[in-house]
Structure 1
Amino acid sequence: MPSHRAVVGVAVLAALAGAAASLFFEPTVAYRLAGTALGQRVLGVTLKARAPAPPAGVAVAQPGATVPPMTLRDVAGTAVEVPRAWAGRPTLVNLWASWCAPCLKEMPDLQAFSATQGANGVQVVGIALDDAPAVQAFLRQHGITYPVLVDAPGPADAGVRLGNPAGVLPYSVLVSADGRLQKTRIGPFADAAEIARWADADAPAQTPGPAAGGH
């Protein structure tokens, strides 16, 4: 007969899984889960199970492996080769959109973290799954100065290729200086201090594998 502790543990996991599944109806519930390591694990497993399969031929980044190459454009329209453009420094990549309220809330903290890193620290790069005019307007209005790339949302967008097949936003990944996917993060960061802790390459990853969710 299972112990009381085991029964309680299963009940807690089931409750968390149910809350994670409610992301499609009550996003704030899942965003609360995002702040804990257990919540990240539950979200990762639950949302991955709900994600559609990527289109045939689309390479999806896997933890510990080199990020598959892709070409994106910055807000000025210049082509950027990823992950080659990030070589030599660890990179925190944040997927967002101008219509995503939790994304916009965390961007000042990402900006503050970026400003503390200097020439040899973690570089912050945003990837907006949005149209360029909306992105440019937001960046000007809110003083975001770290690099931002733009991609059209869809089944083969940059978020999918970075391990988020169904497009939960915000979604962040940490890419090592040699281009490997080190960590993934579903949902927003609480503040700049949490970003700094998570971006520490020696800190444990919070998700066990690719994340998934819905645009």
Structure 2
Amino acid sequence: MKLTPLKIVLVAAGAGALGVLAGIFATGPGPLLDSEFGQRVLNDALTATADAPDGVRVARRGEPLPAVQVDGLEGGGFILPGDFAGRPLLVNVWASWCGPCIKEMPELDRFAGDQGDDGVQVLGLALDDRQAVLEFLQRIPVRYAQAIDVPGPADAGVQLGNPKGVLPYSILVSADGRLLKQKIGPFEEGEIDDWARH
């Protein structure tokens, strides 16, 4: 059988696809999902299969963030991205009942504490009951600002690019308000530093 260039490409593509499937079967999807490429594919798949309510603008990678208003945990509120303009912003969407969210909080707290006055700003956004979050943060305090919103089909997490509501969910916003990166799932120890480099 004579192999033409097209057949060689098709065989190579097939072998590559089988290799990816074998890798996922052997090690699970973790290594793929931990990559920027895997996160893009996952977020695109979740966004493509979700319908936001009419009139709700969902943030898209590379585009300016829509103005999203959230309440401050201790009163007042924030307008994203405007109130954080001038420096990059990491928003971490979480809930007090979410095990993976709780697991990553020490890493987020460490990262926030290392940023100083010129680094990446960090904002936690709890989709939860206010009292439950206040009680949780008394037991496990963090140094970064906290906001809160009522979970639902048009909540702030949806508007920030997570229409399926998977938690934890993090985004990196540029100093000029564009959505740079999205991450579905928790940060592992030491991962945020590389992820937040833009």
- The two structures have a TM-score, normalised by structure 2, of 0.86
Given residue 167 of structure 1, which amino acid in structure 2 is its aligned partner?
G
CA contact (8 A) 1:75 1:132 kept: yes
> Cα offset for 1:11?
3.5
Q: Distance in 2 between matches of 1:34 and 1:98?
A: 24
2:171 alignment partner, SS class: strand
> Cα offset for 1:94?
0.4
Given residue 112 of structure 2, which amino acid in structure 1 is its aligned partner?
S
Partner of 1:71: 69
Distance 1:113 1:44, change over 3 A: same
Distance 1:30 1:7, change over 3 A: closer
Distance 1:42 1:80, change over 3 A: closer
Q: Distance in 1 between matches of 2:85 and 2:108?
A: 20
1:35-114 equivalences under 5 Å are: 35-51=34-50, 53-114=51-112
CA contact (8 A) 1:88 1:178 kept: yes
CA contact (8 A) 2:98 2:167 kept: yes
> What CA deviation, in whole Å up to 9, does each residue of 1:126-180 have, x standing for no partner?
1011011111111121121200100011111111101111111111100111111
Greater Cα shift, 168-177 or 68-77: 68-77
Query: Percent identity at matched positions?
Result: 49
Of the three residues 4, 14, 18, the one matched with 1:7 is 14
Distance 1:173 1:62, change over 3 A: same
Distance 1:68 1:41, change over 3 A: closer
> Rg bigger for which structure?
2
Given residue 11 of structure 1, which amino acid in structure 2 is its aligned partner?
L
Given residue 173 of structure 2, which amino acid in structure 1 is its aligned partner?
V
Q: Distance in 2 between matches of 1:4 and 1:89?
A: 48
Partner of 1:177: 175
Partner of 1:164: 162
Q: Distance in 1 between matches of 2:18 and 2:44?
A: 16
> What CA deviation, in whole Å up to 9, does each residue of 1:180-205 have, x standing for no partner?
111111111111x210100011xxxx
Aligned length: 189
Q: Distance in 1 between matches of 2:164 and 2:47?
A: 8
Partner of 1:133: 131
- The two structures have a TM-score, normalised by structure 1, of 0.80
CA contact (8 A) 2:89 2:173 kept: yes
> What CA deviation, in whole Å up to 9, does each residue of 1:92-114 have, x standing for no partner?
00011111111110011000001
Given residue 83 of structure 1, which amino acid in structure 2 is its aligned partner?
P
Distance 1:93 1:31, change over 3 A: farther
**Any stretches of 5+ residues in structure 2 without a counterpart?**
1-6
CA contact (8 A) 1:94 1:172 kept: yes
